[in-house]
Chains A and B, each alone.
Chain A
Amino acid sequence: MNSPPRPVRRLYLSLGGLPRTGQWLLGAMEMAFPLLNHKADLYLLTEDPLSEFQEFHRVLEGAARLLREHSILRLQIRPVHPVRAHKGRELRDLYLLISSLGRPFHQEAMAHQVASRWMLLPVLRARSEAEVEAALELVPFLRERMILPSLSLPPSPRLGEWAGRLDPGRSRLLLEDQGGALENVFLHDLLDEMVSWSVSPEGGFCVEPCSSLILDRGRALARVCPWDEWREWQDSDSFFLKFQGSKSCLDCWEELPHRMEDVLRWNNRQEEGGRIHHQLGVFAMSRGDENRAELHLRAGLEMGRAAQLRFESLMYLGIMRLQQGRPEEAQELLEEALGLRPGSGSILYHLGRCQLAWKDYIEASELFQRALAAGVEQGIREELLLQLAVCHINLEEFQEAWEVLGRTGEGTAPLCFYRGMALLGQGKLQEALGWFHQALEKGPEKEDLASVFFYLAHCLKEMGDFGRATKWLQKALEADPRSYEAWNLLGFCRFKLGLYHEAIEAFLKALEINPASAIDLANIGSNLRELGDREGAITWYRRALLLEPTLGFAAENLKKLEQESERQKKN
């Protein structure tokens, strides 16, 4: 047995249309109800509930029966119909009749002291001014009976006035400009879904297909969204098995907040619209789609006036600029965000990252300290402490770095690595070695691998174990053959091991990467001297001193060699 992609959260039933029997609809509902989510909306779309009252009522009776049968469900019943002028009284009677269907559920709710499993929330459509007046007159009558209507109104210069009379805090306002009745309510629902999505911590990073089902009584067909293909609704398994979706859901989501700008405005929901744009921007960022991210974050800034939203959008734009390697622009955006929330720990942290990009460790360190004092989210706290430790290490404040790292968790590879660095700086070689090995066990990122190998070797070199150091350096060079430091240290270790030819080879590699390195020139000189090639050594020392005249050991060795050479010539 196949299950639908997700439980159906919204079931749309179109009444009317071609003359099929209402029995089909009841049968279709029987099949659809077991698929409903434990909390779902049931839409009943009709052009004329009065003339179609019998069917309308029969479907609602069917829904009530099915709700009794499926007693884990909670339903919001949403009749969608026009309110014809001069039909107010008949509609009042209609609602009195259909609201009685909910009575057993309300009694059940009362006895259990919770909300009813049956809530009646109609969508009253009005396409002319006369219909708007009729709908507005109906609203208080319904509200008094705990029926909470929404109004779908035509675009008009009088919208503001109507919205004011409606009290948008208690009733939702829809605009009659999104295609037919179904498309209209569908898109408004989708907007609500997106609002929930935009504030949901777990849901804000993926877009799932709509969990809707649209049944068309006229043609005995079904589809999952207004842009999906109509298919036969004979049994739910084969229907959902064929479900593919004919339009990209993400495209639909990306379009919607633009398309619904007026709706958002008239419902005083710009903030929510801004939030949707914002979250779409963050979502695009997480997919690496920087263009769309920029578009939505900017739109969010325009739509949302709430300081919180603006703050977050500016922050994310700033983070994006940092990721793009544009710290100047990042700093500008982040400082604007800081103006909205002075002292924000998160912003101070990202400003610190800007300074880090410019290698201003003192400034970065200060900003990180301020961020810590202000408090940051748990998610970035570890990273902040790590970056602060990096600053201390670069400033050779190894004890401070160690203390900062002590406030972090047990450990990722970078944390272990920098712990090793802090200890290495303090001369605690054995302990440092242990942390570098731990970093290796944690599986560092590929680009960090060479550094871990290198500092393992560095530690061993400091401990005088040049043989093992050489082995780790070879691994470092496998990971990054262009590491100048690794070639230089390899040369040094080989020198110490008396492998002078191999040492020269390593220093020559170092010089390929950094031709202006006086120390490597001098090191070649030293190796040649050990090999007894005095003239060669003199030449390399001179070349080194030409580049760096203050290179003490080179000058001293050169002087000795020249004196020896002089003495030999005299003899």
Chain B
Amino acid sequence: MNVLLMEVNPYVPPSLPISLGYLAAVLGREGHRVRILNIGESTQLSPRGMRNLLSEFRPQLVGMAAYQRNMILLKGFCKLVKETEPHARIILGGPQATFMPSAGLGELLDVDFICRGEGELVIREVVQALESGSLDAPVPGTTTRLSRDYWEDGEEVEPPEDLDGYPSPFLDQVLDLEGLEEAILLTSRGCPYGCLFCYTPRASRRRIRYHSIERVLEEMSWLNARGLSRFWLADPSFSFHRGRTQELLEGILARGIRASLWLETRADLVDEELLKLMAKAGVRLVAYGLESASERVLARLGKSISLEALRRAVGMSLAHGLEVELFSQYGLPGETQEDALQTLEFVRSLVPIRGNTNAQQMRLYFGTPFCENPAHYGIRPLDGTRPAYISVGARYQTDWMDAEQIHRVRDLWQAASLDGGKRMVS
């Protein structure tokens, strides 16, 4: 079967679509023809170019990675797909899809499936169902449109414990690395913590699953051989398993892998010895989640981290020559304008405000406790209609700050920023 996978992110430069790479590798192993279309800010693509691509490749299935920010354009792409290849089926995956209300399908008339489970398993199920030729029952792991106005949820799919069960997008060479300066790698998936603003704990059922050290090192060596040594490790909590982290870093050193690493972890998951090893193995930058510099606000976020631990982790990281980024947000439950400014000052006292250290207003995304029950947390969505496939996002105020105050905090962060407030990750 021909499968087209699309990453549509035209507001920022294109980055490596690693998640689609996993899907492509899985499907490729089963003999399907897969193409990845990665649309970033600098990508040049016209409606005619898109139609030509569809007519030439003739996909029977089109998968699109959905985020809140690209839904407006995904609708257009879905329409264009159906106009050009009316028999092609469309599946929406990605963070916006997992917990999107099924009612979204009522407004996304060109979409046939919403992916609810792990993409690698679900897309295989969908392809099998399409190949079998009948779609009279919902496909496992999806919400399946069974007729224009009727859809049903399929059974849940159980993801494998060992991520090595999935073929590597790198080693299987399904990703286009042309002109790329940095590769994104996932050495693990999932997060065991319970931050109430975050989608990951629920999506991963609060467990972490890993790739073997051997597999990660193999991928890094493979990338090294292709001239890539800058790696963005996109694991939500990279150093959660200390022994494994140490083993991985030692493996990088033992194999002489050239690595310049960006990683994200929690301040209470590092220590002096580990940071020393990180620096030795090529870690260039560590990003820590701070969210707020108010212990009271942190408690309301379900983020069990102490500011003292964070201050200590930042100090140790800098002492070992690592760059540090701090992720923080404003517009949080329980956060007054004074609390938000306290966060700004706290961050400024530790690291320069630029890149990912620029704070952003918290977003309420589908699947997060804050989004499911905002009133319970003192969050008040603003008036105005929105499609069922769009979550509250940043359109809210709280019992502690109204929209105007939140905007004022945004302006203050922007004024304090050394680079105009541009973040790389959201």
Q: Give Cα A114 to B45, complex, Å.
A: 20
Tell me the nearest residue of chain A to B255, going by C-beta: A410
B225 interfacial contact with A, CB 8 Å: yes
- B225 cross-chain contacts in A, Cβ below 8 A: 410
- Provide the bound-state CA to CA distance between A202 and B177, in Å: 13
Residues of B with C-beta under 8 A to A171: none
Q: Cβ of A261: which chain B residues have Cβ within 8 Å of it?
A: none
Chain B residue at minimal CB-CB distance from A105: B72
Given the interface pairs A37-B44, A38-B39, the reply to whether A111 lies near B387 with Cβ below 8 Å is yes
Does A6 have its Cβ within 8 Å of any Cβ on chain B?
A: yes
What chain A residues lie within 8 Å of B390 (beta carbons)?
A: 111-113
CB distance from A431 to the nearest CB of B (A): 16
In this assembly, does A62 line the interface, its C-beta being within 8 Å of a C-beta of chain B?
A: no
Say whether A409 contacts B258, CB under 8 Å: yes
CB pair B229 A71 closer than 8 Å:
no
Q: How far is the CB of A99 from chain B (nearest CB, A)?
A: 20
Q: B10, B11, B76, B179: which contacts A70 (Cβ < 8 A)?
A: B76
- Interface 1/0s, chain B 352-391, versus A by CB < 8 A? 0000000000000000000000000000000011110010
- Looking across the interface, which residue of chain B has its beta carbon closest to that of A203? B42
Q: In chain B, what residue has the closest Cβ to A39? A: B10
Cross-chain contact B79 with A71 (CB below 8 angstroms):
yes
Q: Which residues of A contact B51 (CB under 8 A)?
A: 34
Q: A114 vs B68: C-alpha distance in the bound complex, in angstroms?
A: 9
B422 close to chain A: CB less than 8 A: no
B276 contacts the other chain (CB 8 A)? no
Which residues of B have CB within 8 Å of A408? 258
Which residues from A are CB-within-8-Å of B181? 201
How many angstroms between the C-alpha atoms of A8 and B48 in the bound complex?
Answer: 11
Closest to B39 in A: A38
* Interface residue range, chain A: 35 or more
A108 and B72 form a contact (CB under 8 A): yes
The distance from the CB of B113 to the nearest CB of chain A, in whole angstroms, is 21
In the complex, what's the smallest C-beta–C-beta distance from A160 to chain B, in angstroms? 26
Q: Is the CB of B76 within 8 A of A410?
A: no
Q: Looking at the complex, which one of A8, A114, A200 makes contact with B46 (CB distance below 8 Å)?
A: A8
Which B residues are CB-close (under 8 A) to A39?
Answer: 10, 41
A114's partner among B50, B72, B77 (CB-CB below 8 A) is B72
A72-B80, A410-B225 are known contacts. Are A35 and B72 too (CB-CB below 8 A)?
no
With an 8 A cutoff between CB atoms, is B260 at the interface?
yes
B395 proximity list for chain A (CB < 8 A): 113
In whole angstroms, what is the CA distance A34 to B75 when docked?
17
Residues of B within 8 A of A35 (CB): 46-48
By DSSP majority rule, is chain A's interface helix, strand, loop, or mixed?
A: loop
Bound-complex Cα distance A34 to B50 (A) = 9
- A7 to B230, Cβ gap below 8 A? no
Report the minimal beta-carbon distance from B147 to chain A, rounded to whole angstroms: 24
Report the Cα distance A378→B394, complex, angstroms: 38
Q: Which residues of A are found within 8 Å of B39, using beta-carbon distances?
A: 38
- A531 interface contact, C-beta 8 A: no
Complex-state Cα separation, A409 to B224, whole angstroms: 8
Closest CB-CB distance, B376 to chain A, in whole Å? 22
A430 interface residue, CB < 8 Å from B?
Answer: no
Contact, CB under 8 Å: A73 / B71: no
Q: Does B52 contact A (CB under 8 A)?
A: yes
Q: Per a CB cutoff under 8 Å, which of A33, A72, A108, A202 touches B42?
A: A202
Contact residues in B for A347 (Cβ distance below 8 Å):
none
Say yes or no for A546: interface residue by CB 8 A criterion.
Answer: no
Question: Are B256 and A70 within 8 A (Cβ)?
Answer: no
Q: Does B31 contact A (CB under 8 A)?
A: no
C-alpha spacing A202/B389, complex, angstroms: 35
In the complex, which of the residues A7, A34, A38, A71 contacts B10, with contact meaning CB atoms closer than 8 Å? A38
> Whole-angstrom distance between the alpha carbons of A1 and B386 in the complex?
40
> Which B residues touch A3, using CB under 8 A?
48-49, 52
Q: Is the CB of B386 within 8 A of A34?
A: no
Cβ of B135 under 8 Å from chain A? no
Within 8 A of A (CB), among B179-230: 179, 181, 224-225, 229-230
Is B309 an interface position by the 8 A CB rule?
no
Q: Are B48 and A34 in contact (CB under 8 A)?
A: yes
Q: Is A406 an interface residue (CB 8 A)?
A: yes
Distance to closest chain A CB from B225 (angstroms): 7
> CB of B393 within 8 A of chain A?
yes
Whether, in the assembled complex, B103 has its beta carbon less than 8 Å from a beta carbon of chain A, the answer is no
Please name the residue on chain A nearest to B385 by beta carbon. Answer: A111
Once A117-B72, A409-B224 are accepted as A-B contacts, the answer to whether A112 and B42 lie under 8 Å apart by CB is no
| Residue A211 CB within 8 A of the other chain | yes
Report if B87 contacts A (CB, 8 A).
Answer: no
Contact with B along A57-79 (1 / 0, CB 8 A): 00000000000001111100000
Q: Is A378 in contact with B384, judged by CB distance below 8 angstroms? A: no
Contacts of A45 in B (CB 8 A): none
Contact B71 A7 (CB under 8 A): no
A200's nearest neighbour on chain B, judged by CB, is B42
Indicate if A295 sits at the interface (CB-CB under 8 A).
Answer: no
Complex Cα gap A201–B180 (Å)? 10
A109 within 8 A of partner (CB):
yes
Q: Which of A38, A39, A110, A202 has the most CB of B within 10 A?
A: A38
6 A-B pairs closest in CB distance = A71-B76, A7-B46, A72-B76, A112-B72, A34-B48, A34-B47
Offer 30 A-B interface pairs, CB within 8 angstroms, sorted by A.
A3-B48, A6-B44, A7-B44, A7-B49, A8-B46, A9-B44, A34-B47, A36-B47, A37-B45, A38-B46, A71-B80, A72-B45, A72-B47, A73-B47, A74-B10, A109-B72, A112-B71, A113-B390, A113-B395, A114-B72, A200-B42, A202-B179, A211-B44, A378-B229, A378-B260, A406-B256, A408-B258, A409-B258, A410-B224, A410-B256
Binding site for B on A (CB under 8 A): 1, 3-4, 6-9, 33-39, 70-74, 108-114, 117, 200-203, 211, 378, 406, 408-410
